[in-house]
């Protein structure tokens, strides 16, 4: 489990089993997963099993 800081609150990050049957569109609207990995869009983050993300690329 990882933790993310979203403003003043800390959010626990759970990585659930990947959803291999999900098909995502190739649209680049990056999101930063709570595991500190940048995904191409929300669909790819969710498909990878990330429980929380924010818009934009990860900064670190």
pTM, to two decimals: 0.75
| Extents of the domains making up the chain | 2-55
- Both tokens of residue 23? 């098909």
- Both tokens of residue 3? 């933790």
- Integer Cα distance of 53 and 7 in angstroms: 13
- In terms of phi and psi (left: phi > 0; alpha: psi -120 to 50; beta: otherwise), the region of 36 is left
Q: What is the pLDDT along the chain (60 residues), one digit of tens a residue?
A: 444 544 545 567 777 888 889 999 999 999 999 999 999 999 999 999 998 999 999 997
């Amino acid at each position: 489990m990882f933790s993310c800081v979203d403003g003043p609150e800390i959010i626990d990050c759970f990585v659930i089993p990947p959803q291999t049957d999900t098909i995502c569109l190739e649209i680049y609207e990056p999101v930063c997963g709570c595991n500190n990995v940048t995904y191409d869009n929300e669909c790819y983050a969710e498909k990878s099993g990330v429980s929380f993300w924010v818009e934009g690329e990860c900064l670190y």
